[in-house]
Amino acid sequence: MIDKGKGSVLGVLVDAVDYEAATAKVLAAAREGRPLAVTALAVHGVMTGVQDRAHGARLNSFDLVTPDGQPVRWALNSLHKAALADRVYGPDLTRDVLAAAAAEGLPVYLYGSTEPTLERLTAALHREFPDLKIVGSEPSKFRLAADGEAAEIAARIRDSGARVVLVGLGCPRQEQFVYAMRPLVDAPLLAVGAAFDYHAGQLRKPPPWMQKRGLEWLWRLGLEPRRLWRRYLLLNPAYLARLTAQKTKMWKAAPPPAAEERLTTFPV
């Protein structure tokens, strides 16, 4: 188990952990019934925090931020001598957490995506983990929260008895949701990105050799070029330029202090 604490990647604090340590943190919070804000950041996720300093401060208040993409793992190794052998990829971390939750009888709540995707996801998860208890699911409304809606959503999650909450709203919407809901839900909330689509069988994973070489972005760009071209063709070079500047100390990537404000307007 590897847990070397947080290191700044362009000012965003990322945990130098492996799958075992990340899963253990989530399961400990689930057993104890305490809040835990978790996300897995690839290059795009890190750059959302770089380009929006207020969002970067929210990310820096998260309890656990895993290196979802290989370039983020490489940055931790290069900048902070983390010596991580692998990234902690959101869909795989999701599977590890669900396997442990099924084994321990910890109920799970699914929030986000669409109703058809949630139906396919629930069926797929029950096939893979017959003992998994999914006690509630709720699709995204694809809008901002109305007045008082955060409390209503939190009440539904609490009333379900869920001990783990998976949030699939896409970056950065899901991180905003987790940040806003953390004070209201006594359970770990995991922003899991595309994990819902992957585990529902709606999105194909790239071959292992592409994942290992940090080329998943190219695979996803090929699948969804019109939606993702700006994300990858503009943000990837910007990430590399800033990483080089941080490594050579031409730019001091000072992390913004962890946010403490209550976020009342956020995506649901």
Q: Per residue in 32-41, pLDDT tens?
A: 999 999 999 9
User: 3-204: which CATH number, 3.40.50, 1.10.3470, 1.10.287, 3.30.499?
Assistant: 3.40.50
Calpha distance 15→22 (Å, rounded): 9
CA 134, 138, 144, 146 torsion-angle sign:
negative
Calpha distance 33→127 (Å, rounded): 27
> What b/e sequence results for 219-243 when a residue is b if at least 16 CB atoms lie within 10 Å of its CB, and e otherwise?
ebbeeeeeeeeebbeebbeebeebb
Residue 175 reports pLDDT greater than 90? yes
**105: pLDDT confidence band, cut at 50, 70 and 90?**
very high
Q: Supply 252's token pair.
A: 């001091």
Calpha distance 60→159 (Å, rounded): 29
The 10 Å Cβ neighbour count of residue 113 is: 24
> What is the biggest distance separating any 2 CA atoms in the chain, rounded to whole angstroms?
53
Calpha distance 161→155 (Å, rounded): 10
Q: Per residue in 17-28, pLDDT tens?
A: 999 999 999 999
CA 259, 261, 265, 268 torsion-angle sign:
positive
pLDDT for 155: 97
Residue 254 reports pLDDT greater than 70? yes
Is the pTM here over 0.75, yes or no? yes
Task: Write down the domain spans for the chain.
Answer: 3-204
Residue 189 reports pLDDT greater than 90? yes
Q: What is the mean pLDDT of residues 123-150?
A: 96
